[in-house]
Structure 1
Amino acid sequence: MSSIVVTKSPAVVVRPSETVTTAGKAILSHFDKPLITLPSTVLFVFDHPIDKPAETVRRALSQALVHYYPLAGRLAGDDDDVHINCTGEGVTFVAASANCTVKEQMIMCDHDYHKDAAMSAAGLVKELLAEGYPMKGCDRGDPLVMMQVTSFRCGGFIVGVTWNHGVADDRWRARPWAANPIRVVPVLPLQSDDQLVPPPCTFAAYQALFQFPPSHFPGSNITIPAGLIDRIRFGEPSCTLFEAVTTVLWQCRTRVVMSDPEAPAMIVFTVNSRKQMGIDDGYYGNCITLHTAIEKSGVVANACIMDLVGMIKRAKKQIPEHFKNGDNDTTMAIRDFSGGRAGSGYQNALLISCWRNISFEDVDFGSGKTAKVMTHMLRMLPECVVCMPCKLEQGAKVMSACVTAQHVDAFLQEISTV
């Protein structure tokens, strides 16, 4: 087909549909503050039409902001006292249209490069988003949420949302418009930033990840085949989908980017810790902790895949201990990793985020649930988002941005031969 063209209307400001009496400032926790400059993005793909999709979603957004009113405010304060001023200034909204069908757009986005258009897959996905935050990240005066609705010739549409990760985690994006949502009262404002404090290992993991200079990691859409996952889980029946996918990515990446078998290879994975922290289910601020497994790269590269599954399982089993006594051994191991043994390159660390079981697949604006969920990797960290919902395909969908351009082909080849 000819080049895909997305035509955008001028951005408008969407405010809460009703006057919100609760104003003042919303305090951010110690979970939130490390993330206040980081944007995050999700795109919900719908292959069934609704009437006037842009207007329908804009109206739903305005209604949602009544309950999630801090998101219509702006960041304020210095680094020690950063908070949200609940000003009601609103969020950015863009209506757009594309000269193709949703299916055609997905085919193009599932390839890193294509012959009949002068734009990469990452560029195509970026066109489905409202004008984003600058490369330096989110700033004090920026809107906390930016949304774009793109309509397609087939009647389908895509809702792209970019938001400041420091003010809300992934759950808020699905809950306001999920089909048959759990009726919970949204909760964000805290009385003190000391109400929620992550375990020491999470702070140490952030320090380890952010020690590396920012790099550009081209995005790749990867499918871990269902047959490979079944084979791993047949060998280890208690292996979860997350564990199977994570071990494949960790081993394949280590084989490609690390040459010193004695150098440490660290996998960092995110965990929703509301239960461990005793947090109400309606709380939509960040409550994600980071947990790790560290092993010599030679071991990771050459181990039986079942042994790597065991390493991930042991790391997960230790999670309750992190909340009881801080797990000094794990924290010290991460700090040792950050103290110089890892070298100055990005190769030694990989961040894994899982999008399974956070209700993205339940978003429904009236024509049925999402057909697919995507992301645009905006961060300068080596990361894979795994288990992305997709009703159209078998296997586990992964959005990878974890190797530099020189290693992309080798990484994909390694996965294909596991």
Structure 2
Amino acid sequence: MCIVVTKSPPEIVRPSEPVTTAAANGKIIFSPLDRPLVILPVVVLQVFEHPIHEPVETIRWGLSRALVHYYPLAGRLAAGEGNEDVHIDCTGEGVTFVAASANCTIKQLMRDIDGGLPDPSTAVQRELIVDYPAYGFGRADSLIQMQVTTFTCGGFVVGVTWNHGAADGFGIAQFLQSIGELARGLPSPSVIPVRCDESIQAMPLSPSLVMAAKQFMYGVKPTKLALHSIIIPWRMINGIRGPSCTVFEAVAAALWRCRTRVVMSDPDAPTVLAITVNSRKYMGVKDGYYGNCATVQMAVARSGAVADGDMMEVVRTIRRAKEEIPERLKKGDVIGDLTKEQVAGYEGVLLVTCWRNIGFEAVDYGGGRTARVMTTYEQSLVRPMCVVCLPSEREEEEGARVLSSCVTAHHADAFLREIATL
């Protein structure tokens, strides 16, 4: 069937009561970890199978109450003279909210999405989120854009697009958990939110390192990448995992191998796996901090070793990169060294970010926790990357879900064949 999503006009949801900001001059200064991400849109879609009473009104009400505690997210981007000193103005202007309905059940939606393999164009997913600027957030845009879509079975999907400079994945998951708690009638969030933390602001990062992080995020040459929804089966994951190998390490190693086999021809050329790592425990930030606290670690190896060598050695290469995090942070190094060719190139670098246990799966608006978490993104905005371990209630039956945008259409069939033979 043709799935039709009918949307109401966008509205603005503001904090439910006036807020007195604790921020100096009513503004939030971006930390060195925020600055490279201040225009980047990120999407999370949460699928809920069990009905709740009036989901649109319930979530809108919880959102309005949560913005009292997370008042910076109701603000807008601003800058000082000469477009310098980009920051959040705590204006309380609110966030964009859209109510929508679909002419199908949640199960029909999932069949449509999963049946779109090998290349779901994300047309359905894009209908479940508020339209956002494809090339990043501007100053007039709200930092959060939320859409609640109800389905004929009573289930619903919450689609959230946020400005990555305002919060990282753990932070926005914390925010959504707070919306759920307040929507369920709790008097206040169980976690007290913190947006400014001195340990982050005081990081010994030079302007050149911040620029290097921006070049890593945006410096890649425009390349049209194919989008694939992939499941890495448990039999493969369990075949790799040893006593100390995590699910993420096994999945990342498998993807790195499959892509390297397809896109690299010189076995002696270096290949890089860039891993985003939640670094809260290494930096000692306050509980409840929801700003950006992720660093990028580089696992580097010969392409021949990754493509055809011992898989456990590939896992050990990934683990060693993770073990270097504390020492790198002491030096103020939040991103590893790459050559100009690697930064801009297609073949040599794969970025992997993990959404396992990030917190999206724990959100409950009143009918139970999230049944499935999805995402989508503009391929033109990012380098070759994979979002791995997307939470799903069916994960135990199937394996680890991955949204992959790491190969061109030219390499897509070969990449999928490699995945299928794992």
Query: Normalised by the size of structure 2, how large is the TM-score?
Result: 0.89
The question of whether the paired residues in 1 share the 8 Å contact of 2:36 and 2:210 is answered with: no
Cα distance, 1:223 vs. partner? 0.7
- In the alignment, the residues of structure 1 paired with residue 191 and residue 363 of structure 2 have an alpha-carbon distance, to the nearest angstrom, of 16
The question of whether the paired residues in 2 share the 8 Å contact of 1:129 and 1:161 is answered with: yes
Q: 1:390 to 1:113 in 2, by over 3 A?
A: closer
- In the alignment, the residues of structure 1 paired with residue 271 and residue 409 of structure 2 have an alpha-carbon distance, to the nearest angstrom, of 20
Task: Provide the residue aligned with 1:96 in structure 2.
Answer: 100
1:386 to 388, 409, 412: 388
The question of whether the paired residues in 2 share the 8 Å contact of 1:73 and 1:143 is answered with: yes
The question of whether the paired residues in 2 share the 8 Å contact of 1:30 and 1:197 is answered with: no
Cα distance, 1:111 vs. partner? 3.6
Q: 1:252 to 1:368 in 2, by over 3 A?
A: same
1:295 to 273, 293, 301: 301
Task: Provide the residue aligned with 1:188 in structure 2.
Answer: 195
**What amino acid sits opposite 1:146 in the alignment?**
Q
The question of whether the paired residues in 1 share the 8 Å contact of 2:69 and 2:193 is answered with: yes
Q: How does 1:82-231 map to 2 (within 5 A)?
A: 82-112=86-116, 120-133=120-133, 135-178=134-177, 183-189=190-196, 194-196=201-203, 204=212, 207-231=215-239
Extract unaligned runs of 5+ from structure 2: 182-187
The question of whether the paired residues in 2 share the 8 Å contact of 1:73 and 1:84 is answered with: yes
Task: Determine if the alignment matches structure 1 residue 279 to structure 2 residue 285.
Answer: yes
Aligned residue for 1:171, secondary structure, equals: helix
**What amino acid sits opposite 1:72 in the alignment?**
A
**What amino acid sits opposite 1:368 in the alignment?**
G
Task: Provide the residue aligned with 2:340 in structure 1.
Answer: 339
User: Between Structure 1 and Structure 2, how many residues are aligned?
Assistant: 404
- In the alignment, the residues of structure 1 paired with residue 196 and residue 330 of structure 2 have an alpha-carbon distance, to the nearest angstrom, of 25
- In the alignment, the residues of structure 2 paired with residue 272 and residue 32 of structure 1 have an alpha-carbon distance, to the nearest angstrom, of 13
Aligned residue for 1:403, secondary structure, equals: strand
**What amino acid sits opposite 2:144 in the alignment?**
V
The question of whether the paired residues in 2 share the 8 Å contact of 1:202 and 1:290 is answered with: no
- In the alignment, the residues of structure 1 paired with residue 343 and residue 125 of structure 2 have an alpha-carbon distance, to the nearest angstrom, of 34
Aligned residue for 2:407, secondary structure, equals: coil
CA RMSD of the aligned region, Å?
2.5
Cα distance, 1:392 vs. partner? 1.9
Identity of aligned residues (%): 52
The question of whether the paired residues in 1 share the 8 Å contact of 2:99 and 2:149 is answered with: yes
Cα distance, 1:323 vs. partner? 2.1
- In the alignment, the residues of structure 1 paired with residue 349 and residue 166 of structure 2 have an alpha-carbon distance, to the nearest angstrom, of 26
Task: Determine if the alignment matches structure 1 residue 240 to structure 2 residue 246.
Answer: yes
1:69 to 68, 71, 83: 71
- In the alignment, the residues of structure 1 paired with residue 247 and residue 199 of structure 2 have an alpha-carbon distance, to the nearest angstrom, of 37
Task: Provide the residue aligned with 2:318 in structure 1.
Answer: 312
- In the alignment, the residues of structure 1 paired with residue 286 and residue 200 of structure 2 have an alpha-carbon distance, to the nearest angstrom, of 16
Aligned residue for 1:301, secondary structure, equals: helix
2:399 to 391, 395, 398: 395
Q: 1:15 to 1:182 in 2, by over 3 A?
A: closer
Task: Determine if the alignment matches structure 1 residue 12 to structure 2 residue 20.
Answer: no
Cα distance, 1:296 vs. partner? 2.1
- In the alignment, the residues of structure 1 paired with residue 224 and residue 238 of structure 2 have an alpha-carbon distance, to the nearest angstrom, of 33
Q: Per-residue CA shift, 1:35-75, capped at 9, x if unaligned?
A: 01210010010000111111111111111110110111110
Extract unaligned runs of 5+ from structure 1: none
Query: Normalised by the size of structure 1, how large is the TM-score?
Result: 0.90
Q: Per-residue CA shift, 1:144-177, capped at 9, x if unaligned?
A: 1100001011110000000100111112332245
- In the alignment, the residues of structure 2 paired with residue 193 and residue 75 of structure 1 have an alpha-carbon distance, to the nearest angstrom, of 20
- In the alignment, the residues of structure 2 paired with residue 375 and residue 151 of structure 1 have an alpha-carbon distance, to the nearest angstrom, of 18
Task: Provide the residue aligned with 2:184 in structure 1.
Answer: none
The question of whether the paired residues in 2 share the 8 Å contact of 1:209 and 1:349 is answered with: no
- In the alignment, the residues of structure 2 paired with residue 261 and residue 209 of structure 1 have an alpha-carbon distance, to the nearest angstrom, of 26
- In the alignment, the residues of structure 1 paired with residue 252 and residue 196 of structure 2 have an alpha-carbon distance, to the nearest angstrom, of 34
Cα distance, 1:191 vs. partner? 6.9
**What amino acid sits opposite 1:173 in the alignment?**
I
